[in-house]
Amino acid sequence: MTTSVERRPRVRPAASHGLGHRPLPPLSLYVHVPWCVRKCPYCDFNSHEATGGLPEQAYLDALQADLEQALPLIWGRQVISVFIGGGTPSLLSAKALDTMLTTFRAYLNLLPDAEITLEANPGTAEAGRFQAYANSGVNRISLGIQSFDDAALKALGRIHDAAQARAAIEMAQRAFERVNLDIMYALPGQTLDGLRTDLSTAMSFETGHLSLYHLTLEPNTVFAKYPPPLPDDDLAAQMHEHIIEATAKRGWQQYEVSAYAKPGERSLHNQNYWTFGDYLGIGPGAHGKLSFHDRILRQARNRMPESWMQRCLQRDGSHVSEDRVVPPSDLPFEFMLNALRLKEGVEANLFSAHTGLPLTVVLPKLRQLEERGLLDLSAGRLRATERGWLFLNDVLEAFVD
């Protein structure tokens, strides 16, 4: 891998859009590993089936080149968290992961106790590899369990079975203090009892964090083209109510639409997203949001792994497929889209701090939503009420310019 730093990449000229000068928000790093063993029929992420093994060295070289070219955009800023997602990052060898994290420490102002999360698939879990990941600095792992029912896992196209899921959790808990389980509900043919069993099994491991997602049919997926029989809206609502009640009884607090955590176990990385913090996204298809004193920039990388790797090494900026300044008129919606997902909402002054706009630009809409019982603006916070959470899309539409 090259060790030279690209000091003079193309940098967009500063353009003022009326945003106020304010301190920059916290900064996170997202790293995308695009390969998986097999594409799941519900998945709309940028993932590609690995054939013939992973091109680890080529990927690491390109990742370093991607990071080097982005450095001028984040000079001097502290990085509070790293999230390695995919795809299936746990396909990476322990050596490759160690090289990756070493590169990040060399180039970035990474907090010594930064939260470093790795996504893993139970079908690729190995005890020795998990321990090696931990030794390299990963301190939080997120396991894509999805279900403990073999029939459901088969319907979802997962490569693991229920026994492998349980074994992976136990391996993860031996290697890491912080473990998240991803569980999906409203699965093909799933009953309320089936959801109860899945949730009870997940909770029995007493991990600090649970991510509980309603299965949705996303465009451009196999499930969208060939929809499986899913629970109706009433049954799905009953499942959701049971999740909220059961997790609360066992000590997990719902702090975001799909996130449940025990005290001290909330995901710092995801909370930074939801509070409209900044994140640099590197790797094929990765998205990023970066703030400057006069503008907010959205970026996206080239989606196809081979093209991304080749373009990164050209060092001409062509690996970046999207590079646009967010118009101030879009910022209220983008902020609320994230902040109102949080159960407790956010402090009202965070709107100005992270968008550079005065709160007065949205105050009339906030008051209207408050009068309709959809927002709670007391105690200096912006928070959706229980009713507002049920109609969150309607609330957000009010901020579309």
Residues 115/81, Cβ–Cβ less than 8 Å: yes
Question: In the predicted model, is pLDDT for residue 4 greater than 50?
Answer: no
pLDDT band for position 154 (50/70/90)? very high
Q: Looking at residue 127, what is its pLDDT? A: 87
Q: Looking at residue 124, what is its pLDDT? A: 87
pTM for this entry: 0.93
Q: Name the burial class of residue 82, with classes exposed (0-12), middle (13-18) and buried (19+) by CB atoms within 10 angstroms of its CB.
A: buried
- Please report the sign of the dihedral spanned by the C-alpha atoms of residue 243, residue 248, residue 250, residue 254: positive
3-state helix/strand/coil string of 330-362: HHHHHHHHHHCCECCCEECHHHHHHHCCCHHHC
Tokens of 394: 């309607």
Q: Looking at residue 19, what is its pLDDT? A: 58
* Residue ranges covered by each domain of the chain: 27-274, 329-397
Tell me the pairing of strands 320-325 and 287-291.
unpaired
Assign a CATH topology to domain 329-397.
Arc Repressor Mutant, subunit A (1.10.10)
Assign a CATH topology to domain 27-274.
TIM Barrel (3.20.20)
Long-range contact pairs involving 47-52 (C-beta distance under 8 Å, separation at least 24): 47/86, 47/87, 47/88, 48/87, 48/304, 48/305, 50/91
**Integer Cα distance of 254 and 209 in angstroms:** 10
Question: In the predicted model, is pLDDT for residue 188 greater than 70?
Answer: yes
CA distances from 219 to 15, 35, 227, 257 (A): 35, 20, 11, 21
Sequence-ordered list of residues with C-beta below 8 angstroms from that of 372, at least 6 positions apart, any chain: none
Looking at every residue in the chain, the average pLDDT score rounds to 93
Could you tell me which of 177, 244, 186 has the C-alpha nearest to residue 207?
Answer: 177
Question: In the predicted model, is pLDDT for residue 15 greater than 50?
Answer: no
Residue type, 71: L
CA torsion 321-325-328-329 (nearest 10°) is -30
pLDDT band for position 6 (50/70/90)? very low
Question: In the predicted model, is pLDDT for residue 21 greater than 70?
Answer: no
Residue 225, φ and ψ in degrees, nearest 5:
-80, -35
Residues 29/278, Cβ–Cβ less than 8 Å: no
Question: In the predicted model, is pLDDT for residue 17 greater than 90?
Answer: no
Least confident range of 19-28, 61-70, 128-137, 360-369: 19-28
Least confident range of 13-22, 125-134, 246-255: 13-22
At 195-248, the pLDDT tens digits run 999 999 999 999 999 999 999 999 999 999 999 999 999 999 999 999 999 999
**Integer Cα distance of 266 and 185 in angstroms:** 21
At 342-401, the pLDDT tens digits run 999 999 999 999 999 999 999 999 999 999 999 999 999 999 999 999 899 999 999 997
Question: In the predicted model, is pLDDT for residue 11 greater than 80?
Answer: no
Query: Under DSSP, is residue 64 helix (H, G, I), strand (E, B) or coil?
Result: helix
